[in-house]
Amino acid sequence: NIHEKILLFLKNELDNHKRTFNSESPRDLMDMYLIMLESPEKKPSYSESQLLAICLDMFMAGSETTSKTLAFCFLYLLLFPEVQKKAQEEIDRVVGREREPCMDDKPNMPYMEAIVYESVRMFMSRNFGVPHRALKDTTLSDYCIPKDTMVIASFTSALYDKKYWNDPEVFRPERFLDTNGKLLVPEQYIPFGVGKHRCIGQT
């Protein structure tokens, strides 16, 4: 099945990394993890199988959510031709038609970035966060949460709150721009969760 094929691919990648590994010049996550495996500060839970599990999670979760979010973005561009027109104008102005865009263009394309932020907000507002378990009895806003309770964040409550988003059901990238057209991301924008266990996809 597909799961086994991906795992086999990752095992081959790990073997290749081990053969060509140079601790003085790490290339990626696998190399950094291999450095940690050799470190005296290595935690008991660190292992090659754990590394493969992490890579599998990133491969499976990252590729699916990215493709779905992009599909959502393209759908909104079809539904809102005025947004598409502004995006095209920014691309033509910054990149032109003679070359491909590059990462150096990103700071000069706030509207395109705002489209991505708004697409993620609209897409994630229909989702729930990854389940977590309360490690001890606790209280949150007068709610008693007993130990071992499963806690799941509702992104709808955060990303569709009219108190912060005014017209949350409307696709409006301009909400992520200040009066000068510069990118402005409010602290209420939390589609990846919060805290140290938030989604790695935020980066």
Which pLDDT belongs to residue 88? 97
Transcribe 57-103 into DSSP letters: HHHHHHHHHHHHHHHHHHHHHHH-HHHHHHHHHHHHHHT-SSS---G
Which tokens is 95 given? Answer: 């990149």
Which pLDDT belongs to residue 203? 62
Which pLDDT belongs to residue 164? 92
Which pLDDT belongs to residue 202? 67
Q: How far is CA 58 from CA 11, 65, 86, 177, in A?
A: 14, 10, 33, 30
Domain boundaries, the chain: 1-63, 80-203
Which pLDDT belongs to residue 37? 92
Binding positions are 199
Which pLDDT belongs to residue 152? 86
If the chain, 203 residues long, is cut into consecutive pieces of 10 residues, what is the mean pLDDT of each piece? 86 94 91 91 88 84 79 94 98 96 95 96 81 90 94 87 93 97 93 74 66
Which pLDDT belongs to residue 197? 67
Which tokens is 48 given? Answer: 């090659």
Which residues, including other chains, have CB under 8 Å from residue 119's CB and lie 6 or more apart?
69, 70, 72, 73, 76, 171
Binding positions for heme are 199
